[in-house]
Amino acid sequence: MMTQITLRGDDSERFEDARERIDRDLPGSSPSNAEVVRILLDDSQY
């Protein structure tokens, strides 16, 4: 099953920041969208 999400505003900026941070911390790899979303959810207070 495939689920799509749309991020806007601050969420979109946090997503790009997380993607860049992962790319910087793990050179040579490009994080998948799912990986970035998991990290954002882990960092959230929900």
Q: pLDDT tens digits for 1-46?
A: 888 889 899 989 999 999 999 889 888 878 899 999 998 888 887 6
Whole-model pTM over 0.75: no
Tokens standing for 44? 């959230």
Query: Which residue from 12, 19, 46, 17 is spatially nearest to 35, judged by alpha carbons?
Result: 19
The pLDDT value recorded for residue 12 is 92
Distance of CA 11 to the CA centre of its chain: 9
For the chain, the domains span 11-23+32-46
Element (H, E) at 14: helix 10-25
